[in-house]
Amino acid sequence: MKTLTVTAARQNLGAWLKKSLQGEDIGVMIDGAIVAFRPVKVYSEDYAAQEYGATPEELDAFVQKANRELNADRKAGRFKPFTGKLKRG
């Protein structure tokens, strides 16, 4: 494992992160401990649970409510498809 000081890691952080993505073990020494750079996969379910503490049931309820609101807006004509061009002014 390549071990760096915080200062050395900060000076070229992007390059060290890219090396960790390529499989190289990179660590930063801080307060007598090593913190390693590791790529992780993030899933939307994990994100909602970690960031907001949402349960799977709460996420399902949110999706159902959002879909009902979108469908109501479509039926009422308040929902317009995006054509790729923004109106100015």
In sequence order, what are the residues at sequence separation of 6 or more whose Cβ sits closer than 8 angstroms to the Cβ of residue 4? 16, 26, 27, 28, 29
Confidence of residue 89 (pLDDT cuts 50, 70, 90): low
The sign of the torsion formed by the CA atoms of 21, 22, 25, 30 equals negative
Domain ranges of the chain: 2-37, 44-75
Residue 16 · residue 22 · CB < 8 Å: no
Strand partners, 36: 27
Digit-coded pLDDT (tens) for 22-81? 999 999 999 999 999 999 887 666 777 888 888 889 989 999 999 999 999 989 988 877
**pLDDT reading at 87 higher than 80:** no
